[in-house]
Structure 1
Amino acid sequence: MATQTLPNSSAAAVEGPTPTPAGALELIEAANLISAANRAYAVLAAAAFVAGCFLLCGLVATWRAGRHVIWLDRLLWAFCGLQLLLLLFSLYNVVHRPYSLRTAALGCAALSFAINTTSTCGLLVLALMAYSLALDPPSDGFLRRPGICVALVVLTSICITLLLDGLRGPSDGFRRETDCFMDPVHAGVSYAVAKLCLAFLMPYGLQLALLICGCVRQKQSNRRFLSGSEQGPVLLAFGATLLFCHLFYAAALVRAARLQARGELSHRQRAFVSVAELVFFAGSCACLTLVPLVHRPSRKKLAGQFGRAADLCPRPARAQPSRNIITPHIEITDTLQDIES
Structure 2
Amino acid sequence: MAPCNMTWIKYPSHDFLNPSISIEDVIASQSIISRALHCYVAFFIPAGLIAGLLILAIFFRHYSRHKTSEKLAILMLDLVITDIAIVLFSFTTISRPNYLEATNLSCGLLSFVFNIFYFNSQFLQTLMLFLLLLQGNEHRASLVTGASPLLWVSLPLALAFLGSLVAVALLGTAACLHEKTYCQTDPLNAWPEYDIVKFSFGFAIPSFFNVVFLVLILVKLVKAEALSKENVPSPTVMLCIGFTTLACRLFYNVMLLHRTALKLQRLNGSPREELIMNAAELVLFSESSVTLLFVLFLHKPYKDAAWSSIQYLRQKCRRNETANSSGASPAAIEIEDVNVSRRSHTIPAT
Q: TM-score range by the shorter chain?
A: 0.7 to 0.9
Partners of 2:253 and 2:225 lie apart in 1 by: 37
State the match for 1:223 in structure 2. 225
Query: Which residue of 245, 248, 251 corresponds with 1:248?
Result: 251
Matches for 1:269-284 after TM superposition, within 5 Å: 269-284=273-288
Q: Which amino acid aligns with 1:79?
A: L
The residue number in structure 1 matching 2:78 is 78
Output one character per residue of 1:67-109: Cα deviation in whole Å (capped at 9) or x when no partner. Answer: 5311211111111110001111111212x12211111111111
- SS in structure 1 of the partner of residue 176 of structure 2: coil
CA distance, structure 2, for counterparts of residue 143 and residue 153 of structure 1: 17
**TM-score normalised over the length of structure 2:** 0.78
**1:153 equivalenced with 2:156 (yes/no):** yes
- What residue in structure 2 maps to residue 179 of structure 1? 182
Question: 1:283 is paired with a residue of what secondary structure?
Answer: helix
- Secondary structure, counterpart of 2:22 in structure 1: helix
Instruction: Measure, in 1, the Cα distance between the counterparts of 2:124 and 2:217.
Output: 17
Equivalent residue number for residue 119 of structure 2? 120
Matched, 1:14 2:24: no
User: Hey, what's the Cα distance between the residues in 1 that align with 2:141 and 2:299?
Assistant: 24
CA deviation after TM superposition for structure 1 residue 200, in Å: 0.4
Q: 1:201 aligns with which of 200, 204, 224?
A: 204
**Corresponding residue for 2:99?**
100
For 1:174 and 1:226, the matched residues in 2 are separated by 54
User: Aligned partners of 2:153 and 2:164: how far apart in 1?
Assistant: 16
Structure 1 residues 143 and 287 mapped into 2: Cα distance closer, same or farther (>3 Å)?
farther
Letter in 2 for 1:87: V
Contact kept in structure 1, 2:131 and 2:141, CA below 8 Å:
no
Does structure 1 retain, via aligned residues, the 8 Å contact 2:11–2:268?
A: no
The corresponding residue for 2:62 is: 62
Show the counterpart of 2:130. 131
Residue type at the aligned position of 2:315: D
- Tell me the matched-pair count: 305
Conservation of the 8 A alpha-carbon contact between 2:172 and 2:191 = no
Q: Which segments of 5 or more consecutive residues in structure 1 lack a partner in the other structure?
A: 1-7, 318-341
CA 1:22–1:182: 2 relative to 1, 3 Å? closer
CA RMSD of aligned residues (A): 3.0
Counterpart CA distance in 2 for 1:75 and 1:112 is 24
Deviation of 1:280 after TM superposition, in Å, equals 0.8
- Deviation (angstroms), 1:20: 7.1
Partner residue of 1:266 out of 239, 254, 270: 270
> Out of 280, 286, 289, which is 1:285 matched to?
289
Q: Which has the higher contact order (CA 8 A, sep 6+)?
A: 2
| 3-state SS in 1 of match to 2:123 | helix
Comparing 38-47 with 132-141, greater Cα deviation is found at 132-141
Give 1:326's aligned residue.
none
Distance in 1 separating the partners of 2:183 and 2:249: 20
Alpha-carbon shift at residue 305 of structure 1 (Å): 1.3
Q: Aligned partner of 2:307: which letter?
A: A
| 1:214 Cα offset (Å) | 5.9
Q: Distance in 2 between matches of 1:21 and 1:200?
A: 34
Residues 251-292 of structure 1 show CA distances to partners (whole Å, capped at 9, x for unaligned) of 011112223433250123123212211111111111011212
Q: 1 CA distance for matches of 2:297 and 2:162?
A: 35
CA displacement, residues 213-257 of structure 1 (integer Å, 9 cap, x when unaligned): 6677x6998732599864221111111111111010000111122
SS at 1:272 equivalent: helix
Is 1:306 matched with 2:299? no
SS of 2:86's partner is helix
Equivalent position of 1:294 in the other structure: 298
CA distance in 2, matches of 1:156, 1:226: 30
**SS of corresponding position for 1:192:** helix
Matched, 1:110 2:114: no
> Which residue does 1:3 correspond to in 2?
none
Measure how far apart 1:35 and its partner are: 0.5
Identity of aligned residues (%): 23
Q: What letter is aligned with 1:92?
A: T
Which segments of 5 or more consecutive residues in structure 2 lack a partner in the other structure? Answer: 1-9, 324-350
1:101-142 superposed Cα distances (whole Å, 9 cap, x missing partner): 111111111111111111111111112211211124555746
Counterpart check, 1:163 vs 2:162: no
8 Å CA contact 1:87, 1:285 repeated in 2:
yes
Letter of the 2:277 partner, please give it: V
User: 2:182 is paired with a residue of what secondary structure?
Assistant: strand
Secondary structure of the 2:102 match is strand
> Within 2, Cα distance between the matches of 1:148 and 1:210?
21
Which amino acid is 1:98 matched to? Answer: P
- Residues 105 and 173, structure 1, Cα contact 8 Å, conserved in 2: yes
